Amino acid sequence: MIPGRDAAASLMQRLGLRLPLVQAPMAGVSTSAMAAAVSNAGGLGSIAVGATDVAGARAMIAAVRGATPHAFNVNVFVHATPRVDPPREAAWLAALAPQFAAFGVQPPAALATIYRSFADDAAMQALLVELAPPMVSFHFGLPDAGVLAALRTAGCVLAATATNLAEARAIAAAGLDLIVAQGWEAGGHRGMFDPAAHDERLPMLDLVRALCRETALPVVAAGGMMTGHDICAALGAGAVAAQLGTAFVACPESAARAGYRAALLQGRETAMTSAISGRPARCLVNRFTRLENLPAIPDYPRAYAAGKALDAAALAQGEDGFGAQWAGAGAARARAMPAAALVELLARELAQA
């Protein structure tokens, strides 16, 4: 089944989109200023609150609302509660010890759960129901039916990431409004519900076609797109909109630090790695992605505690080679310009295509 034109048009109208463009949430990189700029320019801006607390999320949402009257998306992480596995975590820290030693520091004595899953965070759930952002999207899985019902009653459009047909069917069965089809080319964390499961690694266009054929929900394409011509291809495959993330990393509204921007604009290749955070994620090739012969990786986000500590130790010595420089397969085509100007350029390219 191809999503009906009426359903797709109704969703676009509900969100007030003038362009079939979603700026990806990108925790740690997207900002309220970026989201507002994209929404003001006719797309759907997004912020990610999976790496902050309730106070931080409230402030970010207020900042977006203070800068745009238009719709925007708030993204949360719905990963499984991480297992605390002392032997595995000790082995992981021991394996990273030589990297820490190169910067004159010891690895952390133990790992910590640095981010709470939205599924386990009643306070964050209550906040989003209270503030009712126009759209709420879920990454890594789905919250329980009660939370979905509360957000739906509050008036939120609900979306979730799928990397395969089984996940898309689960999203549809849960009664959400749309599916974000994350192809293998996408930067950042794979949205897999179960990171230990077999990954089909479907390219974005193939995944979009499959989800449009096999589900009735509108599909937003995600993965590797950098230009309006890319967006046109996604729409041609059946998507109602395209979600671009890496394309916005070099914008001045981005929170990406200087080394990350420089590496992106140098046109580095990307690689998929679980070593930084404990979950598969596509990153610009750096010293972290080149580590070899590593033991079993602790659960996300506990492994991320070590990754962030190693990055901080390296930065203190002037080395920016261990950062989480998430980027999609189209990274070499990144363009540095204000977010609104990029949206306008994408719109012109899409019209030409």
User: Comparing C-alpha atoms, which of 133, 136, 163 is closest to residue 148?
Assistant: 136
Distance of alpha carbon 253 from alpha carbon 269, whole angstroms: 24
CB atoms closer than 10 angstroms to residue 139: 25
Cα–Cα distance, 221 to 287 (Å, whole number)? 30
Residues of the chain predicted below pLDDT 50: 1-3
Q: Left if phi > 0, otherwise alpha if psi is -120 to 50, otherwise beta: which for 187?
A: beta
Q: List phi, psi (to 5°) of 123.
A: -70, -40
Tokens for 204, please give them: 């974005």
By the 8 A CB rule, do 112 and 71 touch? no
**Domains present along the chain, CATH in parentheses:** 5-81+117-256+331-352 (3.20.20.70)
Distance CA 307, CA 99 (A): 11
- Partners of 270 in the β-ladder: 284
Cβ neighbour number for residue 344 with a 10 Å cutoff: 15
Q: Name the phi and psi angles at 23, rounded to 5.
A: -85, 125
pLDDT for the residue 170: 98
Burial of 89 (0-12, 13-18, 19+ CB in 10 A): buried
Whole-number pLDDT of residue 76: 98
pLDDT of residue 7: 67
Query: Is 223 buried (19+), middle (13-18) or exposed (0-12) by CB count in 10 A?
Result: buried
Q: What is the pLDDT of residue 12?
A: 79
End-to-end CA distance of the chain: 26
User: Strands 135-139, 72-77: parallel, antiparallel or unpaired by DSSP?
Assistant: parallel
**pTM of the entire predicted model:** 0.96
What is the pLDDT, as a whole number, of residue 4?
52
Q: So what's the pLDDT on residue 9?
A: 76
Alpha helices (H) along the chain? 5-15, 32-40, 54-67, 86-101, 122-131, 145-153, 165-173, 204-214, 228-236, 258-265, 302-316, 339-352
Residues sharing a CB contact under 8 Å with residue 37, sequence separation 6 or more, in sequence order: 45, 67, 253, 338, 339, 340, 343
- CA atoms lying within 13 Å on the CB side of residue 114: 17
Length of the chain: 353
**What is the rounded CA–CA span in Å between residue 97 and residue 91?**
10
**β-bridge mates for residue 282, sequence order:** 188, 272
Taking the CB of residue 7, how many other CB atoms lie within 10 A of it?
Answer: 15
